Structure 1
Amino acid sequence: MSFTLDVDFAASPAEAFALLSDPVRRPEWQSSLRTVQVLTEGPPRVGTRWHDVTWPGLRPLMEITVFEPEQRWAERGTWRGVTVDLLLDFVATPTGTRVTATCTAYAVGLLRPVGPVLDRLGPLAARDDLRRAARIVSAA
């Protein structure tokens, strides 16, 4: 599964990046999360790891793989044979920032049938979550 989508933020790249790149703030805008359990001390950076604790009870291990303030951020999440890579690109626009999200998911073994479900639900959930993040940043 792979998809790309754009969401416009009425905020600077610095403001959008600050919200989206901080794992601790994820439950504010990502609807599937209850909480985040950070495993790496210090500020977010490449190599920062955490567990997403989701409403359904899944606990994928997450890691920041790219951290370029105000420009690009990426993570990899893994859980029982499923790997999801998310890349966010931040581009200044006349009205704020365009965030382009590119997501690729891989499933192996018995979880391979999850692929079609991710194909349908992934883009919708990502779009809704990023729109929620855009509202949060613009209200600040």
Structure 2
Amino acid sequence: MPVPRLIADLTVPFAASPDVVHAYLADPANRPEWQSSLRRVAAVAAVGDHPGDTGTSWEDVTLVPGVRPRMTVEASEPPHRWVEAGTWRFVRATLAMTYTPRADGGTDARAVAHLEVPGPLTPLALALRVAAPPALRADLRSAARLLARRTG
């Protein structure tokens, strides 16, 4: 059984409140706006009263032909925490977001990502440990800028 390997743990500041940040980042429809690896999301199966509620799932249509992980929201606790898991073939990745309010009314959004791959693909996990943090940070900074324009 593959072991989850930490590939990213970072925090990005947002000018908006935790409830606004959570609502924006959790909504699958917003993902292609700020996630650079996506063309679009497809086959969204919404669960609950809000986009991105626990149990919601969709398919990420990535820029890499044929790579279309199935994403599922494992936890949604607005405005504090949101967790997704993606599976594609024998690979599983999780992203846990936590939102901490700041004194200035903004939010510190912490992203912790893990990757599970079979033993022979361990070098892939190690390579992503180097590549994932800058990519994830850039995507979240893009989300912060977009959200600031919408709410500013």
Q: TM-score category by the smaller chain?
A: over 0.9
Q: How far apart are 1:112 and its partner, in Å? A: 3.4
Asked if 2 retains the 8 angstrom alpha-carbon contact of 1:82 and 1:111, the reply is no
1:111 paired with 2:132, answer: no
Q: Is 1:66 aligned to 2:71, yes or no?
A: no
* 1:86 aligned to which of 75, 95, 107: 95
- CA RMSD, aligned part only? 1.3
Q: 2:57 aligns with which of 37, 46, 49?
A: 49
> How far did residue 41 of structure 1 move?
3.6
Contact residue 46 and residue 57 of structure 2 kept, 8 A: no
Q: For the residues of structure 1 that align with 2:14 and 2:129, how far apart are their CA atoms?
A: 25
TM-score (structure 2 length as normaliser)? 0.87
> Is the contact made by 2:97 and 2:112 (CA closer than 8 Å) also made in structure 1?
yes
Could you list the runs of 5+ residues in structure 2 that have no partner in the other structure?
none
Deviation at 1:114, TM superposition (A): 1.4
Structure 2 counterpart of 1:37, one-letter code: A
Q: Percent of pairs identical after alignment?
A: 41
- TM-score, scaled to structure 1: 0.94
Number of residue pairs matched? 140
Q: Which residue number corresponds to residue 133 of structure 1?
A: 143
2:112 corresponds to 1:102: yes
Give every structure 1 segment of 4 or more consecutive aligned residues whose post-TM-superposition deviation is greater than 6 Å.
Answer: none
